[in-house]
Amino acid sequence: MVAVAAGAPHATVQLASQMALIPTWFLAAYLMVIIVAPPCLILWERFGWFSILGVLALAAAVDTLSLLADQPLLGYPNYLLVWAAFHQVGYAWLDGRLSGAGRRLLLAAIGLVGLLLLVSVGPYPVSMITSAADDISNSSPTRITMAFLGMLQAGLVLSLEKPLTALLKKPGLWFVTVLVNQRIMTWFLWHLTVMVGVAHVLLALDARALLPEPLSGAWWASRPLWVLALLALTGVVVLVMGRFETPRADDRPAPPLWKPFAAGVTVIAGLAVMANVGVVSEGGVTWWWPLLPVVGMVVFGVVATVRDEGSRKTVRMLARKSAGDD
């Protein structure tokens, strides 16, 4: 909004906001999986592996319809279908259905073969993240390719479970792992914002000496320096924004089930659209999409209002008084 008001070209701000907001698709998918986890468990206990195959078949149908109609919005159901299907792999792991290196490598092989077929024979691009050079995005909206990529990665990581577990018994490495994971969502959500911000500052300053020809020797040699610089800048952002990953305890009574569900739907809708198109169009700032998640959380009671805070203080005061009387 500030950039548009300052006179920046809409196309430039649109691309910058779209690239910076790509990680929000993960928040949408993450919240979606949390909401459907209980019914997904029921499906797994009843149908096992077929609960994955059936949902992936539906996801393939959604992709086909979306791609044939050239309408990304028609692909939005796959935010639910693809990630819910892949989430079932976690139940398989916990149930012991993926015990042994053979089964885990088989899962990785299925993911690899499926991914190669979809990319080489199908219409999907090689890049698994949104790229301006691709007509189709694999991640926004989520495509079936992401399920096979997840199987490949899960199979490989699970195959390394024993040596990684032994490695993490070292106190120093375990400390670093816990320290980073306490703020892992903040690192993920802000890393592209920092990268896009730095890139646009350099372009605005015409700092071409710091921007060597892509894929040249100087470009490759400067990659480690860029990684360290972006890591440090993102770390500063994490220090400021990371506190939101540890919210205060909410001692309000549990709300009716429909209220957090409705809040989740509004948050998911806003995040998914922002991940796909950013917050700027040719006509200006589309301010309602960033506001939708906030309004949804306030209206449906996820965010405590001033009135809620007053009620909390009253309850705590009465509790202390009761304890004192006892």
Q: Which of 50-54, 72-76, 131-135, 150-154 has the lowest mean pLDDT?
A: 131-135
To which H or E segment does residue 165 belong? helix 161-167
As a whole number, mean pLDDT of residues 288-312 equals 76
* Res. 238: pLDDT tops 80: yes
Under 8 Å between Cβ of 146 and 114: no
Give the pTM.
0.76
Cα dihedral 59→61→62→66 (10° resolution): 140
* 12-16, 60-64, 276-280, 310-314, range with the lowest pLDDT: 310-314
Q: What is the mean pLDDT of residues 285-292?
A: 78
- Residue-level length of the chain: 326
- pLDDT band for position 307 (50/70/90)? low
pLDDT of residue 26: 82
Q: Quick check: 286 pLDDT over 60? A: yes
Determine the pLDDT at residue 241. 92
